[in-house]
Chains A and B, each alone.
Chain A
């Protein structure tokens, strides 16, 4: 076991993949200088583990600010023998390349009758919660969930980030990785050596009997805090982290709801048509008779992200809002009221 940060774990996965297969390349803005901490050892080019030193400029490529051609070229390269990892910096920048994501990446395998394979990974950071305002703070994974052909990972721990990314690089489908900046510094013991976590398999973060709490990305940590508080109030919460939204492990959620009868979903995306909405629909359709209470969603409201921390901090799902939702579905009152 080694203690790794979330970013360090991503770097470790990338390094393993680069070592294992010369067809893997990394392209994106500022990748040569390791600006985001996923491309090497430390602060100096001369540091051991610096990717540019190890792999050179053929396989580590700084791009101009050109999201459309970055995404499309990575797709075309993937169709013709490379396995690119594209660092798109921040998720709010993805929109510059929507046509390429939707009309090329998502559709090519299908439209061309299976002739195209796209082993490409698109990574971006959801830079919310850190006073960067509307053009940096989006959590757009639900938009991409709606378009078949894209796989989506939302790792919430260093272990998951490492294991899922390795799987993503090895698979022949295009993958979008959404990484919450609030998790960048999170540290934990990560098992040594190469390991892969399959897509479509949720992680049971905490076992419980009274309520199923599905939490996505940064909401997982908040869910854990909420569950600890609720335990003291006599409510036993089961936390499920789906880890991947496409494919989504609906069986894990349905099996849990069959036991608990109650579902709360904590999703940092906007409320309308968020991942929480889809999960609610799945459970309502397939486990209606198990439900003892309505499904509740704890999401960011349908608003853009304002700059002032006096405003922003109150918008995302947090431990208190999640705990309130659990109390509602168990019809209990918070202690001290």
Chain B
């Protein structure tokens, strides 16, 4: 499919946003400015953005602990995301969610779940509501190779297929569930499980190519929107950093040669080269884009720093729509 240049530039913009945001977040964790830890999507930007940009603005999405890329890829504002990471009042979840539980309902991001796989039924429900209401929206569930062995995925695939729900199951296969290589705990090929549930299953071998990912996911999204039901897209990719920032495991669980090979395939560098080569944009435009996005990330950190911390009363808010009595 031919994609207009401005859309291609937007893809690069969002990949850069994820990269610079996550690199900054990683630094902030090291300095103790972000409490707890973060799980970055560095190296996986094409896999995320190829998928999120195949969705429309009104479409829905859920994800997991490796979360920042998802709302960023779907167009969320960076300031409230950064403020959320530092637990401030202006955070997108008012400081109540933190890195692992980002959500920005304004852009259809219905929530990242700290329990892997647990948000897949939620995305299935969003697809159910669009089916019942007939509003044409599509839903996409992000989950990793680790979550892909959770039972609820298969319940969701079965139900979506039987009810022909407009959903895309997007497996972010970065080949390791924390320290566990996916192939040692996974029977067969993940994408092949789709056929058992009567839906197309596609395995994108080169998850570092944003256009390849976009193509596969767009096909699935269009199929869903046309009322033909769910699809399973498995995207093979690689996280460049450790499972979580600051984690240092005693054992070297990733093969050095494999790592070196994947690190050479930086999705942002690859797409940059592609755009120059194809004449989509010149050096000045691309450098300008990088500077713009860096400034956005700087501004998001400033926004987070400017924000106050939440008042204690916020801890007791939104347990229910209205307080029902002495919670404390």
A contacts B directly (C-beta below 8 A): yes
Q: Which residues of A are at the interface with B, using a C-beta cutoff of 8 A? A: 23, 25, 58-59, 61, 63-64, 66, 68-82, 99-100, 103-104, 108-117, 148-149, 151, 171-173, 200, 246-248, 250
CB < 8 Å neighbour of A66 from B93, B137, B155, B321: B155
Distance A116 CA – B125 CA, assembled complex (angstroms): 13
Residues in B with CB closer than 8 Å to A100 are 118, 121, 152
The answer to whether B115 touches A76 (Cβ under 8 A) is no
CB < 8 Å neighbour of A149 from B111, B124, B163, B320: B320
Distance A167 CA – B97 CA, assembled complex (angstroms): 30
Q: When A and B form their complex, what is the total count of cross-chain residue pairs whose Cβ atoms lie within 8 Å?
A: 158
Distance A282 CA – B110 CA, assembled complex (angstroms): 37
Residues in B with CB closer than 8 Å to A77 are 125-126, 128-129, 132
Write the nearest CB–CB distance from B283 to chain A, whole angstroms.
41
When C-beta atoms are compared, the residue in chain B nearest to A106 turns out to be B319
Distance A149 CA – B96 CA, assembled complex (angstroms): 14
Distance A109 CA – B289 CA, assembled complex (angstroms): 36
When C-beta atoms are compared, the residue in chain A nearest to B165 turns out to be A73
The answer to whether B129 touches A113 (Cβ under 8 A) is no
The answer to the question of B92 belonging to the interface, with a C-beta cut-off of 8 Å to chain A, is yes
The answer to the question of B120 belonging to the interface, with a C-beta cut-off of 8 Å to chain A, is yes
Listed by A's residue number, 19 A-B pairs whose Cβ atoms lie within 8 Å are A70-B159, A73-B128, A76-B127, A77-B125, A77-B128, A79-B122, A80-B60, A99-B118, A100-B121, A103-B118, A109-B318, A110-B96, A110-B319, A111-B96, A111-B97, A112-B93, A113-B95, A113-B97, A173-B320
The answer to whether B120 touches A72 (Cβ under 8 A) is yes
15 further contact pairs, Cβ within 8 A, besides A58-B132, A79-B125, A79-B126: A64-B158, A64-B162, A68-B152, A69-B152, A73-B125, A76-B139, A80-B137, A81-B135, A82-B129, A109-B318, A109-B321, A111-B93, A151-B320, A200-B324, A248-B325
The answer to the question of B123 belonging to the interface, with a C-beta cut-off of 8 Å to chain A, is yes
A103-B152 contact given A79-B110, A80-B130, A173-B320, CB 8 Å threshold:
no
A104-B103 contact given A73-B159, A113-B92, A151-B320, CB 8 Å threshold:
no
| Interface bracket on B | 35 or more
The answer to whether A66 touches B126 (Cβ under 8 A) is no
Residues in A with CB closer than 8 Å to B118 are 72, 99-100, 103-104
Residues in A with CB closer than 8 Å to B93 are 111-113, 115
The answer to the question of B13 belonging to the interface, with a C-beta cut-off of 8 Å to chain A, is no
When C-beta atoms are compared, the residue in chain B nearest to A76 turns out to be B125
Residues in A with CB closer than 8 Å to B110 are 76, 79-80, 116
The answer to whether B122 touches A75 (Cβ under 8 A) is yes
Residues in B with CB closer than 8 Å to A64 are 155, 158-159, 162
Q: Mark B88-118, 1 if CB is under 8 A from A, else 0.
A: 0001111111000101110000110111001
The answer to the question of B327 belonging to the interface, with a C-beta cut-off of 8 Å to chain A, is yes
The answer to whether B324 touches A247 (Cβ under 8 A) is yes
The answer to whether A72 touches B97 (Cβ under 8 A) is no
List the 7 shortest-distance A-B pairs measured between CB atoms, nearest first: A72-B121, A76-B125, A113-B94, A113-B93, A73-B125, A76-B122, A69-B155
Distance A127 CA – B95 CA, assembled complex (angstroms): 42
Distance A200 CA – B110 CA, assembled complex (angstroms): 30
CB < 8 Å neighbour of A112 from B96, B120, B126: B96
Residues in B with CB closer than 8 Å to A80 are 60, 110, 125-126, 129-130, 137
The answer to the question of B261 belonging to the interface, with a C-beta cut-off of 8 Å to chain A, is no
